Amino acid sequence: KKAEMHNHNIICGWGKIGKAIAHHLKTEGQIFAIVEKDESKVERMVERDLSVIAGDARHEDVLERAGIRSAKSLYTTMDDSTNVFVTLTAKLLNAKIRVVSKSDDTSHNMEKLRKAGADEIVACHDVGARMMVNKGLQEKTERPIGRKI
Angle of helix 80-93 relative to helix 106-116, nearest 10 degrees, comes to 10
Q: What 3-state class would DSSP assign to 99?
A: strand
What CA–CA distance (Å, rounded) separates 123 from 37? 23
**pTM score, whole prediction:** 0.86
Which residue numbers in the chain have pLDDT < 50? none
CB distance 33 to 10 below 8 Å: yes
